[in-house]
Structure 1
Amino acid sequence: MENLSASEKNGLRGGLLITVMAAFIAGIASENFVTGFVITAVVCGVALLAATVLARIVISRRNR
Structure 2
Amino acid sequence: MDNDPGPQGPIPRFLQWAIKPPQSYAVYLICLILVFTLSFYAGTQKPKHSPAPPSATTPSAPRS
TM-score by length of 1: 0.44
- State the structure with more CA Rg: 2
Higher relative contact order (CA 8 A, sep 6+): 1
TM-score with structure 2 setting the length: 0.44
- Is the helix fraction higher in 1 or 2? 1
